């Protein structure tokens, strides 16, 4: 079964959550706790869990440092 046929993808457009995903907690215990919350959130939605497991076919994403 290809990832596009995975039932977890059904309803992805109706997920209804919009978040940048940026986390501004301090490095250390606060960041560890925030990452745990993010992971639990992602695992609570089959669509997000499927996205996490998926391998992109291609990507043009670049990260540049802005000063």
Is residue 8 classed exposed, middle or buried when 0-12, 13-18 and 19+ CB atoms within 10 A define those classes?
Answer: middle
Share of the chain above pLDDT 70, in %: 64
Confidence of residue 29 (pLDDT cuts 50, 70, 90): very high
What pLDDT sits at residue 54? 83
- Give the global pTM: 0.48
- Predicted confidence (pLDDT) at residue 52 exceeds the cutoff of 90: no
Mean per-residue pLDDT, 23-32: 84
Domain ranges of the chain: 26-54
> If you write DSSP's letter for every residue of 4-19 in order, what string do you get?
GG-GGGTTGGG-----
- Predicted confidence (pLDDT) at residue 46 exceeds the cutoff of 80: yes
């Amino acid at each position: 079964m290809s990832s596009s046929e995975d039932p977890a993808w059904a309803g992805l457009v109706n997920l209804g959550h919009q978040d940048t995903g940026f986390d501004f907690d301090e490095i250390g215990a606060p960041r560890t706790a925030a990452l745990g919350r993010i992971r639990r959130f992602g695992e609570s939605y089959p669509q997000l869990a499927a996205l996490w497991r998926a391998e992109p076919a291609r990507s043009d994403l670049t990260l540049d440092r802005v000063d």
